[in-house]
Amino acid sequence: MLATHFAREGAKVVVVARTEVEDQRLPGTIYKTAELITSEGGYALPVRCDVTNEQSVVEMVERVLDELGQIDVLVNNAGTAFPGLITETPLKRWELVLRVNLTGAFLCSKAVLPSMVKSKCGSIINITSIDAVTRTSGFTGAAYAASKAALERFTWSLAAEAGKYNISVNALKPKEGIETEGLMVVSQGAGRERWESPENFIKAAIFLASQDATGVTGVVASDEEYCLWHGL
């Protein structure tokens, strides 16, 4: 979703995911997304990467720099969840959620920072969730909520470190679930009456991508809040 809209704004987009194979329940691959972008006249580079593996992340960033020369914006959007109660959550599932949602953002941020520091500008956007600050009971799971809360604290720390290099770091979360194919698969449509269209989320993400440390940085907020505060 974000990749296509960034491309429509003129960005050269790198589409990254762990799998190259289409899920039977969820259509689409990095290659199909890239094909859609190029069919609309945009630029897209599909790259397979496991964000929980440091070597895979380093190789992904090296390839992007070889192709494009620099990285201006990083969106840490990889995510997974394990619905269920804490007593029903296997340790390996707990650890997987934390590795993807939190460690993945750490590894990707760490890998792109040297390029951004060199160019003295950049924007890192961490996608979090309202579950980071609300009580949950089984739907997304405690591991998901904990990982997103930690990602928000990571955002503040990284913003403090990166500001002197003119790099903005912010966290963006939807006020409610965004109506996408992915959410439909995970939730099986439960709570759909509360879902929101992606319009505000997209506008907020594009706005944050345009920021550096002289603008908005170190902010953790919902799409609705960003749109309200900045007249989007």
The residues assigned a catalytic role are: 144
**Which segments of 54-198 does DSSP mark as H helices, in order?**
54-68, 91-98, 104-119, 142-162, 181-187
Residue environment code for 70-79, b if the CB has 16+ CB neighbours within 10 A, otherwise e: ebbbbbbbbb
Tell which residue, 161, 61, 73, has the closest CA to residue 111: 61
d(CA 84, CA 64): 37
Helices (H) and strands (E) in the chain, counts: 9, 6
Helix, strand, coil % in the chain, rounded to nearest 5: 50, 15, 35
Beta strands across the sheet bearing 167-173:
73-76, 122-127, 167-173, 220-222
H or E element at residue 125: strand 122-127
